[in-house]
Amino acid sequence: MECKKCHRPLHDCSGCNGGRASGIGGKLTCSKCNSTGVVCSQHGGHWK
């Protein structure tokens, strides 16, 4: 997966462990990556 802004490869979000730290029910709510599980080192997770 790559950033839609800069097309650099995305990194697993440290806030939610790449989206694997989803809560009970499997619904991920992470403000750091905007619940995508991945972040861009340049743009963070709010690139969508």
With binding defined as CB under 5 A, does residue 33 bind Zn ion?
yes
Q: Which of residues 9, 42, 44, 48 is near Zn ion by CB under 5 A?
A: 42
With binding defined as CB under 5 A, does residue 15 bind Zn ion?
yes
DSSP assignment string, 1-48: -B-TTT-PBPEE-TTTTTTT---TTS----TTTTTSSEEBTTTBT---
With binding defined as CB under 5 A, does residue 46 bind Zn ion?
no
- The pair of structure tokens assigned to 10 is 């995305």
Q: Which residues bind Zn ion (CB under 5 A)?
A: 3, 5-6, 13, 15-16, 30, 32-33, 40, 42-43
